[in-house]
Amino acid sequence: MENTLAAQQSGSGGSRTAKLFFYAAIILLIAEFIGSFTFKVGPGKVVLLPMIWALLLGAALGLASERWNGAARLDVKTQFLAAAILQPALLLFVAKLGLMVGGALPKLAAAGWALAFQELGHFVGTILLGLPLALLLGIKREAIGATFSVGREPSLAIIGEKYGMDSPEGRGVLAEYLTGTVFGAVFIAILAGFVASLNIFHPLALAMGSGVGSGSMMAAASGAIAAQQTPEMAKTVLTFAAASNLITTTIGTYFTLFISLPMAVWGYRLLEPLIGRTSKASDASEAIEKSRPQLGDVDTAAPQLGYRGKLLAWGVTAVFALGCDWITHGTTPLMGLPGMLIMVLATIVGDAIYTVTGRKIPAVCWVSIVAMFMTSPLCPWAAQISTLSAQNDFLGITTPMLTFAGLSIAKDIPAFRRLGWRIVLVSFVANAGTFLGATLVAQIFHV
């Protein structure tokens, strides 16, 4: 029997949903008022944004509440509900990304196919280096989520829709996201600076390799490379890195969906029987099952949201995002509401097309296409839509999304403990692979 959110609204399920949204609202307020925090580590720096505080606070609440008794406890069923809410929240994020991309299409066309082609190196490099290492360390299906990309927000959306965040692949991409967010900028700055000092690659090839799809990692890598160049070349390096990062964030989403993810799945099926090992990390999924109370399949599985459940999730996430923009940028909800409604409309239309077409093409793709069209030169109202959607900050929608992710993490802690240092090492190697892979392709074909 389908366990829908509508069914959970009755009885204790309704109070559980209200409790989840209440906790999410409190965490969002705390995270936004903490704000961003920057500290230096060696040649680079770590920037902790409100979205990271939200993720960590949600996880901390889940762990702390294990010792609580009574209705206030964030039990496993509520954590699964948070994971279910995360799915439509991710689609709302994809819509925001698409609205940003549509207006940038002329810039992408001007960059040419040469710059776009090196994106293949970004996403193949993570698999070529990261996947074999993960298998040798005994990591199983988590290796797919951890190595098919550098694990930024679009990757969370893709894995979340295809496998669900409550899956080995979901845990893998989330571990990659956490590692890359906290340590990625420092690691890539050290790596890029070292590789640049070897004088093996042209500075522009290194610049294109720096556009890994993360603003902080791109800035750290390109800054380390530019510091070793002449003032004129340094400016060119930063320009090429920015262009590459824009393409990685846009076109790269489709590379990830249609090329690198299928390649990672194929590589796992081919290599796991050959080089796969057994280690403490191998039974991460079994560790989760043993740690959870055996209350029946319905209680220990993520609920499937019906259409009303999706609308509720989109509406609550949109309200939270408006609140984030108000606290961070002073954009009142009235100012941000038109742009947010456009975002929700693109999500609803894209999800409807996904359903009508038989769900053969992922919803993230349809939502992205609809949103891109709305701000592309093909749309007669593109200028007005772009102006309205510009009132909504990109990070404003990311923070609520990661709040729900954080509130769903505690149930997966036994798996993360099993993965331990191995998944962190794999993440570093995958990040190195995306940088070196794209740099090599750019060096061979474009420089």
Q: How is the chain split into domains, by residue range?
A: 5-445
Q: φ and ψ at 265, to 5 degrees? A: -65, -45
Beta carbons within 8 Å of 239's beta carbon, 6+ residues apart = 207
In one-letter notation, the amino acid at residue 406 is G
Q: What integer pLDDT is reported at residue 444 of this predicted model?
A: 83
Q: What integer pLDDT is reported at residue 9 of this predicted model?
A: 45
Each residue of 371-406: pLDDT tens digit? 989 998 999 999 999 999 999 987 788 889 889 988
Helices (H), 198-279: 203-210, 215-226, 231-255, 261-275
Q: What integer pLDDT is reported at residue 248 of this predicted model?
A: 78
Report the DSSP beta bridge partners of residue 48: 37
Q: Which residues of the chain have pLDDT under 50?
A: 1-11, 295-300
Q: φ and ψ at 351, to 5 degrees? A: -65, -35
Helix (H) / strand (E) element for 59: namely: helix 50-64
Beta carbons within 8 Å of 106's beta carbon, 6+ residues apart = 377
Distance of CA 395 to the CA centre of its chain: 12
Q: What integer pLDDT is reported at residue 379 of this predicted model?
A: 93
pTM of the model as a whole: 0.77
Neighbours of 225 (CB within 10 A): 29
For helices 76-117 and 231-255, the axis angle rounded to 10 degrees is: 120
CA distances from 239 to 5, 203, 223, 258 (A): 47, 12, 11, 28
Each residue of 100-138: pLDDT tens digit? 778 767 766 665 555 666 667 777 788 989 999 999 999
Each residue of 163-198: pLDDT tens digit? 887 789 988 998 888 788 777 877 888 888 889 988
